[in-house]
């Protein structure tokens, strides 16, 4: 079904959605659980972790530093046994994972040794100074090899307190500085221009760290963190809302039926896409609401429905940045125009998502344009047909695969291997939930 260069998920005459599906474990939370678990001394057991390539990058890097991390296999718990970190043997390869690179830079800032980090071609082009500049202000030494990006070497050690006004709303920047404060046992205050996702704050609070988070300001005193005093813990990772977004979209574009999506994380800092879709006319019910390790979780019930274009303001982007590709695809099937405001951050993701989205939509005969830092999409009932260049980006590949499910579509992807970064079984789930 997923062969490169052939029509992927061709649209059927009548598409019905059906069944129950559980999205993979949350990528952001899995990274944080592995890294913070590696800083503890008691064992940490993780249920339903993401087992994709990105999560394996974090596990691999931690093992090089002396942390015992069990194998990441679907359907199995993962055991993490922290230990004092030591000088790694060789370069720490973060693969395609920007979260691994940026959070590990923070966690390494307080370690009294040097570590060299690199990644694949895509990761090496992504900016790192947004993290390394404030870490340098705290006292870490950073040696770049080719400008703003990997590879680079960080020499950690004694750190100083920091008050930092971040120029971007970035959970990775915020988390890196909080992890540096923990490792260096110093205080940090971070102010963002808008509130970014708060998984790190929630997890650290769950492990007993005293954090004051008010609006866009977070304060943490690393001296309050006593890793040896945290008892053994067992937590379950919620389903990733960013992965669930593709399933929601498939259900909305179907012509009949309904889809149950189980165990989805519904942290308000991650579910901006649900608020946007509800404004566009989607009906998405939350059921069985509960909490897991400080994170809100719910089951989602989604039925097909007509959508109307909308304006997604800059203030909404931090809570929906990873879902803009699938929202743009849905906008292509909505009545009227949809404008995504101030989405320049899309240019420095796994690909230049901003321009790739617009170009691919136009390839399929859909009116789309980049206007400054905005993305504008005009919806239609045009049958999308053409070959999509994914740029090796998992979210681009999955978004256009979803568009390929509408009746009469013939969408071919340049590659499909990239989906292994976040949702390895995506195409199998896609086929299973679709009927005629």
* CA angle, residues 43, 45, 48, in degrees to nearest 5: 160
Give CA separation, 28 vs 106, 249, 346, in Å. Answer: 15, 21, 17
Pairing assessment for the beta strands 114-118 and 78-81 based on DSSP bridges: unpaired
Please give the structure tokens belonging to residue 205.
């609070």
Give the torsion sign (CA, 192, 197, 203, 208).
positive
Give CA separation, 303 vs 249, 256, 299, in Å. Answer: 10, 7, 14
Q: How many CB atoms sit inside 10 A of residue 158's CB?
A: 12
CA distance 412 to 400: 9
- Burial zone of 288 (CB within 10 Å; 0-12 exposed, 13-18 middle, 19+ buried): exposed
CA distance 39 to 62: 10
CA distance 246 to 400: 10
3-state secondary structure of 409: coil
**Residue 430: what are its φ and ψ, rounded to 5°?**
-60, -45
Of 322, 373, 381, 429, catalytic: 322
Give the torsion sign (CA, 148, 150, 151, 154).
positive
Q: Which of 237, 203, 319 is nearest to 22 (CA)?
A: 237
CA distance 18 to 294: 31
Residue 304: CB partners within 8 Å, gap ≥ 6? 17, 251, 252, 253, 254, 255, 256, 257
Give the up-direction half-sphere exposure of residue 368: CA atoms within 13 A in the CB hemisphere. Answer: 26
Give yes or no for a contact between 372 and 380, defined as CB atoms under 8 angstroms apart.
no
Give CA separation, 431 vs 17, 260, 398, 403, 426, in Å. Answer: 10, 15, 13, 14, 9
CA distance 332 to 292: 35
Annotated catalytic residue 322: yes
User: What are the catalytic residues?
Assistant: 322
């Amino acid at each position: 079904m997923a062969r490169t260069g052939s029509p992927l998920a061709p649209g059927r005459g009548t598409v019905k959605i059906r069944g129950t599906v559980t999205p993979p474990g949350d990528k952001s939370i899995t990274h944080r659980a592995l890294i913070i678990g590696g800083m503890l001394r008691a064992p940490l057991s993780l249920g339903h972790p993401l087992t994709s390539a990105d999560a394996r990058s974090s596990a691999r890097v931690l093992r090089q530093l002396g942390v015992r991390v069990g194998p990441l296999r679907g359907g199995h718990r993962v055991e993490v046994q922290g230990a004092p970190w030591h000088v790694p043997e060789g370069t720490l390869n973060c693969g395609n994972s920007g979260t691994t690179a940026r959070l590990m830079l923070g966690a390494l800032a307080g370690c009294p040794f040097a570590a060299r980090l690199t990644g694949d071609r895509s990761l090496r082009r992504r900016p790192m100074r947004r993290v390394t500049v404030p870490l340098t202000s705290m006292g870490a030494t950073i040696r770049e090899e080719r400008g703003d990006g990997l590879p680079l070497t960080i020499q950690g050690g004694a750190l100083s307190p920091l008050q930092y006004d971040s120029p971007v709303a970035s959970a990775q920047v915020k988390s890196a500085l909080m992890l540096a404060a923990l490792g260096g046992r110093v205080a940090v205050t971070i102010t963002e221009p808008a509130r970014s996702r708060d998984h790190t704050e929630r997890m650290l609070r769950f492990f007993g760290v005293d954090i004051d988070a008010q609006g866009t300001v977070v304060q943490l005193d690393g001296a309050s963190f006593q890793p040896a005093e945290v008892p053994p813990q067992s937590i379950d990772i919620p389903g990733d809302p960013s992965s669930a977004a593709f399933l929601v979209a498939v259900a909305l574009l179907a012509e009949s039926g309904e889809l149950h999506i189980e165990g989805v994380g519904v942290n308000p800092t991650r579910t901006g896409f649900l608020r946007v879709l509800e404004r566009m006319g989607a009906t998405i019910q939350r059921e069985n609401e509960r909490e897991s390790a400080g994170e809100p979780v719910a089951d989602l019930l989604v039925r097909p429905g007509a959508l109307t274009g909308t304006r997604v303001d800059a203030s909404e982007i931090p809570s929906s940045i990873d879902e803009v590709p699938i929202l743009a695809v849905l906008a292509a099937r909505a009545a009227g125009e949809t404008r995504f405001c101030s989405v320049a951050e899309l240019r420095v993701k796994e690909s230049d998502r901003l321009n790739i989205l617009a170009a691919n939509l136009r390839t399929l005969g859909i009116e789309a344009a980049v206007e400054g830092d905005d993305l504008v999409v005009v919806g239609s009932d045009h049958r999308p047909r053409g070959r999509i260049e994914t740029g090796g980006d998992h979210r681009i590949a999955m978004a256009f695969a979803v568009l390929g499910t509408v009746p009469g579509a013939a969408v071919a992807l340049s590659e499909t291997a990239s989906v292994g970064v976040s949702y390895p079984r995506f195409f199998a789930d896609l086929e299973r939930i679709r009927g005629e």
